[in-house]
Amino acid sequence: MPELPEVETTRRGIEPVILNRTLQTMQIRERRFRWPIPDELPQVVIDQPLLAVGRRAKYLLWSFPNGTIIIHLGMSGSIRRVQADSFWNLHDHVEWTFEGGQVLRLHDPRRFGAVLWHPIEDGDILSHPLLKNLGVEPMGSEFTAKLLYDQTRNQRIHIKQSLLNGKIVVGVGNIYASESLFRARIHPETLAQNLTRPQATRLFNAINQTLEAALTSGGSTLRDYMNPNAQPGAYFELHAAVYGKADEPCPQCGTKIQRIVQNQRATYFCPKCQRRPRTRKSAP
């Protein structure tokens, strides 16, 4: 699944191509996504200049004078720059053509993404139901070790689940959660409310380091993920410490990496570097 580094890589890749350019056409070949693409969307945005290419969590936000297109890449989506009039691939579903001949296509084999419209009369884009209850952005001034510690005090769930639900901090998906917990030397089954202040500080630093490393190299390599230049990411293909490496030696101590399933998601950790918490309570 494209996570925050992949989405931010996409945002950075397409911003210089389309920012401040007028949208000339929007062609929709398939409307059936997680939520149907609004029928009227092409007519609403055509001939409008694109004022900003933003991101909130894993949502891309294309701001026009009359509203904002909200794009989510779902489980397998990507936005790629293509040549005008080039052949449509099987799972290319939406195409945007901007002035100057800049063409972007949304490719999504599973169609679990979204292309939605938030008109300006509905208020600030961050008030949209999909965005208003999200946690803070990582790698920003609002995200601190104190915030992480304070907001886990009443969470009787495993720390990995707390990271994934996005209520404290957004963008720490399954791969990055496993990697961050390994960097911080925290067992993934530690209850969030039992996180100590030193652990919270280590985890805060580990989250930022892991995401920054992924951004530097363009996102993680996933089977379906392609960056805006139609090239796969490279980070975890080369540098993952634990994710996807069950039974391989830990890069720190040589102990075999273990794999468990938490809330139907695979978790990888080193049982020696990330010792199981001494005091254990059952998470709901």
Active site residues: 2-3, 58, 265
- φ/ψ (deg, to 5) at 269: -160, 165
Q: Which residues pair with 116 in a beta bridge?
A: 70
- Ranges of beta strands (E only) in 29-77 are 52-56, 59-64, 67-72
H or E stretch at 106:
strand 102-107
- What distance in Å separates the CA atoms of residue 68 and residue 52, rounded to the nearest whole number? 9
Instruction: Identify the burial level of 252 via C-beta atoms within 10 angstroms of its C-beta, where 0-12 means exposed, 13-18 middle and 19 or more buried.
Output: middle
Q: Which strand ranges, in their side-by-side order, compose the sheet holding 114-119?
A: 52-56, 59-64, 67-72, 114-119
- What distance in Å separates the CA atoms of residue 52 and residue 32, rounded to the nearest whole number? 26
Cβ atoms within 10 Å of 215's Cβ, excluding its own: 17
H or E stretch at 96:
strand 92-98
Residue that is written with structure tokens 């580990």 in the block: 206
CB-based contacts of 284, cutoff 8 Å, min separation 6: 156, 157
Q: C-alpha 174: how far from its chain's center?
A: 10
